[in-house]
Amino acid sequence: MDQSPPPIQILEPGQVPDPTLALPPRQPQPWDTVAYIADPDRFCRQNFHRHGPVFRTSVFGGTTVFVGSAIANQMVFNGDLKYTEIALPTTTMTMFGEHSLFQRPDLHGSRKTALRPGFTGANLDHYIPRLDTLIGQGLGTWQPGDRVPLFPAVADLCFDALVPLLLGIDLNDSQGDPWAGLSLSAKPQLCSLYQTFFDGFYGLVPWNVPWTSYGRGLQARSQLLEFMAGIVARRRQETQTTQSLDPRNDFLAMMLAQQQADPQGVFSDALIQNQCLLQLWASHYEISGLVSSWMEQMGRHPAIVERLLAEQAQVWGSAPDGDPALSPSALKQLPILESTLKETLRVTPPSSTATRRLTRDVVVAGLLFKQGWGLVAEPRIAHIMAEHFQDPDRFDPDRFLGDRNEGKPYTFIPFGGGVHACLGAQMALVVAKVFAIHLLRQFTWAGVEPPRYVQFPLKHLKADYCIQLRSRSR
Ligand code: HEM
């Protein structure tokens, strides 16, 4: 019988750890937070090469262990209610609000289960024709010959595509008045509030006053919640008039339908408004990061673009009579496209995972992790490990195809993993695929200069990075 200890061992409260156990390498240094924020890629890469995939730091105060190995990631991702708690600064937790999935671990499972249909399965399939139209229309404003500031241009189109899918309204609707009865009256106002809200998450001064970014973020948060409350009230009124609410139409409709079916269930008005606020925020920044980084990569890899075109021709034929509409089944037949998106997420993961704090001593692969320490599972480490990815510095989508099948759970972690694994991962890939198909049909493009990235808090191309668009002759 195998007598070896389990790979993840949780010590009982009061249990004294074996004194011969080693701690993760590296002494935390006072400058770690500044070094990490200044350049997270370099911080992770340098320390990984010196100390291996698990090392101690003082990032965000106290001892925080950065991890990238599969077994340590697994430990970080699955400790809720057993040996970890979410350890975000109070300011960040307040910005998320009490109805986010990072609050109340006791309610996390029921809330997550209730939210899931809004981003997956039949509802997600149902969004595709609408997404196809919205992204097609949006890209109609891009012209061959344009020099496009990539991240802001993609972010603008993503916003226009995501608002209808999440909130059920089209802010560009020229037929009616999409702003009627709402507390805001124009898209720039809404986007600017979102930017202030976003900046508030990372404010260093935790005072709720107008001269801190945290204070301004909180102010923006309440204005955005008032806006969401208006949208919810308007939808409820429309539903009462028309007597119809198709839960597949959009995320808000799904939540309202569940509320109608079970008024005492998960979906209180406050939770619905907070979820509208958060999911639009999360999906918008993350998907914009993915699509723009994918475009940057494709601009540098024409041979891969040729393979993507051949794949599309196989699905839709090489001389389409106009551009055929996109269907859920067709989107599932594009493994090469999917592999390029995954490879983009591997080399430029938009976000790290949230910090956890250990509530018990834990032993992982012979290393002692002490109660009270912070933990961050970092894709920036996991994704550059040769044990996880062959020749990791190479952009090579084939690693996700066929027999190679790299990217196993806990090694490929752009969407986190375990208990808090991203709820919008499938939706992100679907939106990115629709974007990519339209782009490939219409344009060729190349960067006008080497790419430069904003690294923190989310990784995306700098706003002034431009591409040159050309028409794809077919
Ligand atoms: C490229 C796109 C995206 C990336 C890279 C991404 C990344 C992540 C990561 C790393 C986590 C885990 C955080 C942790 O464990 O601390 C997460 C969680 C989450 N994501 Fe995403 N995300 C993306 C798109 C989306 C979209 C489109 C939505 C919804 C519309 C979404 C909703 C969520 C939610 C609700 C959670 C929390 C899940 C939980 O706590 O159980 N994300 N995401």
CA of 443 to the centre of ligand 1 (A): 30
CA of 279 to the centre of ligand 1 (A): 9
All residues at 6 or more sequence positions from 235 whose CB lies less than 8 Å from its CB, including other chains: 168, 252, 253, 256
The ligand 1 atom at the shortest distance from the C-alpha of residue 420 is 41
Least confident of 77-81, 265-269, 300-304, 469-473: 469-473
Where exactly are the structural domains of the chain? Answer: 8-471
**pLDDT score of 4:** 67
Nearest CA to ligand 1 atom 36: 422
Tell me how crowded residue 269 is: count the other CB atoms within 10 A of its CB.
Answer: 15
Instruction: Say if ligand 1 is within 6 A of residue 187 CB.
Output: no
User: What token pair was written down for 417?
Assistant: 């993993």
Q: Give the mutation target among 422, 427, 431, 461 for probing the ligand 1 site: most ligand atoms within 8 A of CB.
A: 422
Query: Which pTM value belongs to this model?
Result: 0.96
Nearest-CA residue for ligand 1 atom 42 is 424
Is any atom of ligand 1 closer than 6 Å to the C-beta of 169?
Answer: no
Tens-digit pLDDT profile for residues 218-274 = 999 999 999 999 999 999 998 887 777 899 999 999 999 999 999 999 999 999 999
For 421-430, the pLDDT digits (tens) are 999 999 999 9
Cα of 428 from ligand 1 centre, angstroms: 9
In CATH, what is the architecture of 8-471?
A: Orthogonal Bundle (1.10)
The single-letter code of the amino acid at 286 is E
Closest by Cα among 194, 207, 124 to 159: 194
Instruction: Indicate whether 59 pLDDT > 80.
Output: yes
Confidence band for 162, pLDDT divided at 50, 70 and 90: very high
pLDDT at 318 over 70: no
Instruction: Express each pLDDT in 344-397 by its tens digit.
Output: 999 999 888 888 999 999 999 999 999 999 999 999 999 999 999 999 999 999
